[in-house]
Structure formats: C-alpha cells, structure tokens
C-alpha cells in the first residue's frame, strides 16, 4: 500500500495510526440478498441427489445471492474496528462515497 493510498479512518476521521497502533483494517463491504428461486432449486437438487457436494458439482452453478449495489472500501483504525458495528461502518462508508460523488 502506497502513501497516497492511506486515507483517514472511516469511523473517526483520524489517521489510521492515531492511537499509536501500527495495525489497521482495510475493509470492503457490500450488501447481498438471497436469490430464493435459486436456493429452492439447489435445495431440491440436494434432496434429490442425497448429497450437497454432489448437487453443487452437478447443479447449474447459478448465483445464490445477488449484489444490491457497488461494494465500498475503506480503512478502519483499531479503535473503530473494536467499537463500531458493521452496520455503523457501512453507513459511514456510504456517506464517504456520497461526499466523493458530490465533490466531483
């Protein structure tokens, strides 16, 4: 990771090493929803074949989950990684993305 790739923490807005901890997280978050017809087909195939592994190999290999939008990435300091939930980080990352879109 190059110096220009280091951004402030998405949780607190401070530098990722502000607490004198040299480790931090680079996270990528996205939301998915189950494709229920595909799940039902795969479950039926598993029941018919008697083996989830065999059904996975023999099945159509369709997507079981659908992406609900673009994945977002960001850096998180250790303090925020411990104190914030995934939902909070998701919301904060979305706000960062909005700022970038609004400024361009």
Asked if 10 and 99 count as a contact pair (C-beta separation under 8 A), the reply is no
Q: Going by C-beta distance under 8 Å and a sequence separation of 6 or more, which residues neighbour residue 49?
A: 55, 58
- Residue 78 pLDDT: 94
- In the chain, domain spans: 21-103
- Residue 82 pLDDT: 93
pLDDT confidence band for 103 (50 / 70 / 90): low
- Residue 98 pLDDT: 63
For tokens 């939930």, what's the residue? 85
- Residue 100 pLDDT: 56
pLDDT digits (tens, 9 = 90+) for 18-74: 989 899 999 998 889 999 999 999 999 999 999 989 988 888 889 999 998 888 889
- Residue 71 pLDDT: 87
Indicate if the pLDDT at residue 104 is higher than 60: no
Measured CA to CA, the distance from residue 53 to residue 51 in angstroms comes to: 5
Q: What's the predicted TM-score (pTM) here? A: 0.68
Top pLDDT among 59 and 103 is at 59
């Amino acid at each position: 990771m190059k110096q220009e790739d280091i951004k402030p923490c998405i949780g607190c807005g401070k530098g990722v090493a502000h607490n004198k901890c040299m480790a931090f997280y680079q996270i990528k978050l996205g939301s998915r929803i189950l494709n229920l017809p595909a799940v039902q087909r795969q479950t039926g195939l598993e029941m018919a074949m008697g083996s989830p592994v065999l059904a996975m190999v023999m099945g159509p290999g369709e997507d079981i989950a659908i992406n609900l939008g673009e994945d977002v990435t960001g850096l998180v300091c250790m303090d925020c990684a411990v104190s914030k939930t995934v939902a909070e980080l998701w919301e904060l990352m979305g706000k960062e993305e909005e700022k970038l879109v609004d400024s361009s």
